[in-house]
Amino acid sequence: MSNRLGELKDNPITRRIFGQKKTSVDPLQIMQNGESALYDLEGLSQHEIRLVMGYITNLYHQACSKRTNQQSNHYLIVDEAHEVQLPVMHQQIIPKDRARGLVLILMTQFMDQLKKELKAAITEISGNIIAFRSGKETAQEVEAITGFKAEDIRKLSDLHCSVYTDDEDGDPVRFFVRTEPPYILDHQG
């Protein structure tokens, strides 16, 4: 126990996060107010990322059961999800919390980086896959899951993606999306 606590106590980053009496991260307030929160984990070690994101993800999981407006979805988006594969994701959030309006969106470059349990929860329970242009192996895996042709996935242009989801009757739907490029201002406005 002392060794485990030492990891939190001796590291200045985790000590600052976990050494407080009360956290300033309030997922319930964020969800109730329809706000978004970005957590920048750049510069943290993989171990620190798992600790911090495990804590934040569990806060979201606990908060979603207390929401008063569970019909309004809140999107918890995790980039580089292969670095943060936590049991709460495939055991609680994907199968249970989505009914309470907490939608987990996991982003990764290679699906084979995801653990078997997490990948099964995504493909068998969630059923929502958004794929951008991919290499041969990933495109073949997307084809096996979604029915999109691997060649179509490999040839997607910039700002295009394929979407696999279910309609209101639970039937699979496949379509392509094109988005406008972001509007970028120069230094003069």
- Domain boundary at 87, 103, 126, which? 126
Question: How would you label 78-106 residue by residue, b for 16+ Cβ within 10 Å and e otherwise?
Answer: beebbebbbebbbebbbeebbebbbbbeb
Question: Do 20 and 68 fall into the same domain?
Answer: yes
Question: Do 103 and 40 fall into the same domain?
Answer: yes
What pLDDT is attached to residue 138?
92
What pLDDT is attached to residue 3?
65
Question: Do 117 and 66 fall into the same domain?
Answer: yes
What pLDDT is attached to residue 189?
58
What pLDDT is attached to residue 5?
66
What pLDDT is attached to residue 178?
96
Nearest alpha-carbon partner for 5 in 13, 15, 154, 60? 15
Q: Position of tokens 């957590």?
A: 39
- Domain boundary at 82, 101, 126, which? 126
Question: Do 162 and 97 fall into the same domain?
Answer: no
Question: Do 87 and 29 fall into the same domain?
Answer: yes
Neighbours of 69 (CB within 10 A): 11
Residue 170: partners with Cβ closer than 8 Å, 6 or more residues away: none
What pLDDT is attached to residue 8?
67
Question: Do 85 and 155 fall into the same domain?
Answer: no
Letter for the amino acid at 146? T
- Domain boundary at 78, 106, 126, which? 126
What pLDDT is attached to residue 2?
60
Question: Do 56 and 134 fall into the same domain?
Answer: no
Per the structure, the complete domain to which residue 131 belongs is given by 127-189
Domain count, the chain: 2
* Predicted structure pTM score: 0.77
CATH number of the structural domain spanning residue 20: 3.40.50
Question: Do 116 and 142 fall into the same domain?
Answer: no
Question: Do 42 and 133 fall into the same domain?
Answer: no
Question: Do 113 and 133 fall into the same domain?
Answer: no
For the chain, which ranges sit under pLDDT 50? none
Question: Do 117 and 132 fall into the same domain?
Answer: no
